[in-house]
Copies of this chain bind each other. A is one copy, B any other.
Amino acid sequence: MKLQNDQFLRACLRQATDHTPVWLMRQAGRYLPEYCATRAKAGSFMGLATNVDYATEVTLQPLDRYALDAAILFSDILTVPDAMGLGLSFAQGEGPKFEKVVRDEAAVAALAVPDMHKLQYVFDAVTSIRKALNGRVPLIGFSGSPWTLACYMVEGGGSDDYRLVKSLMYSRPDLMHRILAINADAVALYLNTQIEAGAQAVMVFDSWGGVLADGAFQDFSLAYTRRVLAQLKRSHDGAVIPRIVFTKGGGLWLPEMKDLDCEVLGLDWTMNLGTARRLVGGEVGGPGKALQGNIDPNILFAPPAHIATEVHRVLDSFGQPHTDSTTTGPTHIFNLGHGISQFTPPEHVSALVDAVHNHSRQLRQG
C-alpha cells in the first residue's frame, strides 16, 4: 500500500521534503484523555502494551488529533529484559520495576537472548497498527539500547545516581560486557522481527548513555549500539528501513557518532542543531546523518504564541534544509528532546505541530 505521507521516511534518508516532518516521543501517552480512558479499560500499562487492540488504538489516537508525520509503536523500551524473565511491572504513577535484578555472576550467567515468541504481542501489535494506519503515515518500531536496558536490569528500576550499574561496570567490567553483548544481540533480533512484522523505521533509545563518563560511554554504550546496528536489516519488502539512534545527553560525543551505521541521529535540547548539522549533517550530494529533535518538552507549558516562537528558533537553528529533489543532503525531523510530559495541555501540541509545518514551509521558500 502506498504511503500517503512519506515526508518522515524521505527526511530519514536525507531526501528533500515539502515541510519538516514532526512526531513526538511518547506521543501516545497520559497527556491525552483518550489514552487514559483506554488505559483504564486495560487495567495497567502492561495490560495495555500486551493487548493488540488496545496498543493499536492508543498508537493511532495522537494521529487523529494532530497532523503528525509518523506513528510510533505503543510499547515500552524494557520489553526485552521482561522477555528474559526479569518480570517488568509499572506501579500506578511510578516508573518501571523489575522483579528480578542482575547484579552478580550467577544472574549474568543465567541471561540469554530471549525466545522471540515471548514478544509475539509486540510483533502482532506492529502488524495490527500498520494495517490500521492504512498508509496514512509510516510506523516506527523501537527498543531500548543495550546500555539503557542494562541500567534497569541492574538497578531494578529508575535511578538518580546509577550507583549499582556503575559499581558493577567499574568493579566487574567482564560481567557488564557479557550483559551488554546479550542485550545487543537480543535488541537486534527484536528490531529485525519488528521490521518483518511491518515497522518502516526503527529507533534505538539510548536514554541513559549520557550518564556515562567519557571513555565509558564509548566502551559500554556506543560499542553495543554498533553491535545492534551491524545486525539490523537494511531493507524489507523492497523498502529501505531507516535506523535512528538517540542518546540523551550524548551531544558531546556527536563527532564519534558520525560514522555509526545508521541514517538518523536524535538529539536532546542541549545541543545546538546548527552545530550538529556542521558536525554530522553532511553536504548536499555527500554523506551525512539526518538529525532528529530537539525542543525542550517543557516549552509545551507556555502559551501557544511562545510555543511558536520557540519552534521557529529550533527550526532556524538547523537552518534551510536542502531542497534539491535530485540528490540527498541535510535534513531535519522535528521532535522533542525527550518524551512529552503527562501534564502537557493537549491543545498546546497542535500549536507546536502547526508551527513546525508552517514555519518549515516558509523556510523552504528562502
Identify the A interface with B (CB < 8 A).
161-163, 166-167, 170-171, 210, 212-217, 249, 251-252, 269-272, 295-296, 298-299, 301-303, 306, 310, 313, 317, 337, 341, 343
Q: Are A161 and B341 in contact (CB under 8 A)?
A: yes
A170, B306: Cα distance in complex, Å? 7
Q: Which residues of B lie under 8 Å from residue A252 when comparing CB positions? A: 251-252, 270-272
Expressed in whole angstroms, the minimum distance between the Cβ of A175 and any Cβ of chain B is: 13
Q: Which residue of B lies closest to A217 (CB)?
A: B270
Q: Are B270 and A166 in contact (CB under 8 A)?
A: no
* CB<8 Å pairs between A and B, sample of 15: A161-B341, A166-B296, A166-B299, A170-B299, A170-B310, A210-B270, A212-B269, A212-B270, A212-B296, A213-B270, A213-B296, A214-B271, A214-B317, A251-B252, A252-B271
Q: Which residues of B lie under 8 Å from residue A271 when comparing CB positions? A: 214, 252
A269, B163: Cα distance in complex, Å? 14
Given A251-B252, A341-B161, also A167-B269 (CB < 8 A): no
Q: Are B171 and A302 in contact (CB under 8 A)?
A: yes
Expressed in whole angstroms, the minimum distance between the Cβ of A154 and any Cβ of chain B is: 12
Q: Which residues of B lie under 8 Å from residue A167 when comparing CB positions? A: 298, 301-302
Q: Which residues of B lie under 8 Å from residue A317 when comparing CB positions? A: 214-215
Q: Are B166 and A301 in contact (CB under 8 A)?
A: yes
A310, B303: Cα distance in complex, Å? 48
A299, B169: Cα distance in complex, Å? 9
Q: Are B216 and A341 in contact (CB under 8 A)?
A: no
Beyond the given A212-B270, A214-B269, please list 12 additional residue pairs across the A-B interface where CB-CB is below 8 A: A166-B296, A166-B299, A167-B298, A170-B298, A170-B299, A171-B303, A214-B271, A214-B317, A215-B313, A216-B296, A249-B249, A252-B271
Q: Which residue of B lies closest to A170 (CB)?
A: B302
Expressed in whole angstroms, the minimum distance between the Cβ of A124 and any Cβ of chain B is: 33
Q: Which residues of B lie under 8 Å from residue A272 when comparing CB positions? A: 214-215, 252
Q: Which residue of B lies closest to A310 (CB)?
A: B170
Expressed in whole angstroms, the minimum distance between the Cβ of A44 and any Cβ of chain B is: 22
Q: Are A163 and B213 in contact (CB under 8 A)?
A: no
Given A213-B295, A252-B271, A296-B213, also A343-B163 (CB < 8 A): yes
A270, B254: Cα distance in complex, Å? 12
Q: Which residues of B lie under 8 Å from residue A163 when comparing CB positions? A: 298, 301, 341, 343
A167, B317: Cα distance in complex, Å? 22
Q: Which residues of B lie under 8 Å from residue A251 when comparing CB positions? A: 252
Q: Which residues of B lie under 8 Å from residue A212 when comparing CB positions? A: 269-270, 296
